[in-house]
Amino acid sequence: MEQPHPIAIVNARLVPIDGPVVEDGAIVLRDGRIEALGSTEEVPVPDGAEVVDAAGGWVLPGLIDAHVHLGVWEEGEGWAGQDTNEMTDPVMAAARALDGINPREQGFDDALMGGITTVNVNPGSGNPIGGQAVALKTYGRYVDEMILRSPSGVKAALGENPKRVYGEQKKTPSTRLGVALVLRRAFAAARSYQAKVDAAEGKPVDSDLVSETLLKVLEREIPWRQHCHRADDIATALRLADEFGYRLVLDHGTESYLLADLLAEKQVPVLYGPLIVSRSKVEVRDRSLAAPGILDRAGVEVSIITDHPVVPIEYLITQAALAVREGMERESALRAVTINPARVLGVEDRVGSLAVGKDADVVLWSGDPLDLQSRVLRTWQDGVEVYTYDPGQGTGSVRPR
């Protein structure tokens, strides 16, 4: 998309995330980037700009959900829209969520309605190694023009899911120790493949897509996104990361608050959630709305996730508000849905805060986003308005894709 003309949003309460709040602020969007921001007196309106009077509304960067299944687990499509798990082999490191995403799924529109402009689409957790994740913008005609970073990590799973899937098939792994064994074997094979390539001294060797992907993890080019809930599985995740030296990110981390000091010491980020779900399995029995605050106070870099469609993506900010109600600092909750997930995804140079030069992914709220009475009024992605709420009609609309 090309931004046709500059846009100046004035009379706004600017919340940059990585800087002080600006009352009566203005922000200028030009050529898909943030050109200027500050007080209305300091920021001149460019010639020919479209002027948007925020009338005291709040302006924030687009929100970020770092763990979703948008486009691969389509709502209301039954089996036809289910491309989350390729459960025909426990090691699917070479499979890419990117290849299964339908950008016309309704959930992408719901994301824009909720002020979410960046997501990370993961494969599912049926396999010990599920495949490659991709960081996307939430508006686009086809998935390739939406990519922010690919791959943005490799999804892996410990605990009940891979145990159940392969146990029912009478195959390895059927236990927690079997799941850990599968991971160790895969990384050992990747190291052997690297040794084979080194020994060839530039001569061609047969390609191994799985090992080539895992070598990116071992070389710390991309993070290892470890699905785990229970504290014992989290301890296993830490053990494996110490053994192989990769960058670990905990996805879900239901009981991570029990090991908050250890996670802070090891500087392991936690993508916590989903928060507003039933105790549908034993692993989430001890979920807690207070957990994000506990982790944050311990010094863990915490993000909040929906795991869409487990929790509909438009309720990302609702979860953040509930975490505040249960003790999380307001500023920390906003960081947990903006700059923190941007860092996990390795895209913080483009999104996650309002700053000159960053992508013009900007959202105008009617009021405080952590007040459940507030709503998204307008969403811009790369400086183009992609969602508009019409108060007269009481409905919103997404720009045609």
H helix or E strand, kind and range, residue 36 = strand 33-39
Count of CB atoms within 10 A of residue 381's CB? 27
Residue 51's pLDDT is 97
Q: Which residues are paired to 270 by β-bridges?
A: 250, 302
Residue 361's pLDDT is 98
Residue 79's pLDDT is 73
Instruction: Using the predicted structure, report yes or no on whether residue 2 has a pLDDT greater than 90.
Output: no
Residue 96's pLDDT is 98
3-state DSSP assignment of residue 29: strand
Looking at residue 173, the DSSP 8-state letter turns out to be: -
Domain positions in the chain: 7-61+356-398, 63-345
Instruction: Using the predicted structure, report yes or no on whether residue 281 has a pLDDT greater than 90.
Output: no
Cα separation, 237 vs 223, in Å, equals 13
Instruction: Using the predicted structure, report yes or no on whether residue 1 has a pLDDT greater than 90.
Output: no
Cα separation, 112 vs 242, in Å, equals 39
**Is residue 271 within 8 Å of residue 301, measured between CB atoms?**
no
Average pLDDT across the chain, whole number: 96
Q: What is the pLDDT of residues 209-265, one digit of tens each?
A: 999 999 999 999 999 999 999 999 999 999 999 999 999 999 999 999 999 999 999
Superfamily the domain 63-345 falls into: Metal-dependent hydrolases (3.20.20.140)
Beta strand 129-137 pairing with 58-61: unpaired
More confident call, 284 vs 28: 28
3-state DSSP assignment of residue 161: helix
Looking at residue 247, the DSSP 8-state letter turns out to be: P
Residue 380's pLDDT is 98
Count of CB atoms within 10 A of residue 265's CB? 12
- The alpha carbon torsion through 323, 329, 332, 336 (nearest 10 deg) reads 0
Q: What is the pTM of this model?
A: 0.97
pLDDT confidence band for 76 (50 / 70 / 90)? confident
Residue 130's pLDDT is 98
Contacts of residue 18, Cβ cutoff 8 Å, sequence gap at least 6? 339, 353, 355
pLDDT confidence band for 65 (50 / 70 / 90)? very high
Residue 276's pLDDT is 94
**Is residue 345 within 8 Å of residue 120, measured between CB atoms?**
yes
3-state DSSP assignment of residue 249: strand
Q: What is the pLDDT of residues 337-370, one digit of tens each?
A: 999 999 999 999 999 999 999 999 999 999 999 9
Tokens standing for 79? 């089996």
Instruction: Using the predicted structure, report yes or no on whether residue 152 has a pLDDT greater than 80.
Output: yes
Instruction: Taking residues 299-315, report their average pLDDT.
Output: 97
H helix or E strand, kind and range, residue 141 = none
> Which CATH architecture best describes the domain 7-61+356-398?
Roll (2.30)
Cα separation, 377 vs 393, in Å, equals 13
**Is residue 308 within 8 Å of residue 69, measured between CB atoms?**
yes
Q: What is the pLDDT of residues 94-141, one digit of tens each?
A: 999 999 999 999 999 999 999 999 999 999 999 999 999 999 999 999
pLDDT confidence band for 282 (50 / 70 / 90)? confident
Residue 388's pLDDT is 98
Cα separation, 390 vs 378, in Å, equals 9
- The counts of H helices and E strands in the chain are 10, 17
Residue 117's pLDDT is 98
Cα separation, 268 vs 234, in Å, equals 11
Contacts of residue 222, Cβ cutoff 8 Å, sequence gap at least 6? 151, 152, 153, 154, 216, 247, 346
3-state DSSP assignment of residue 2: coil
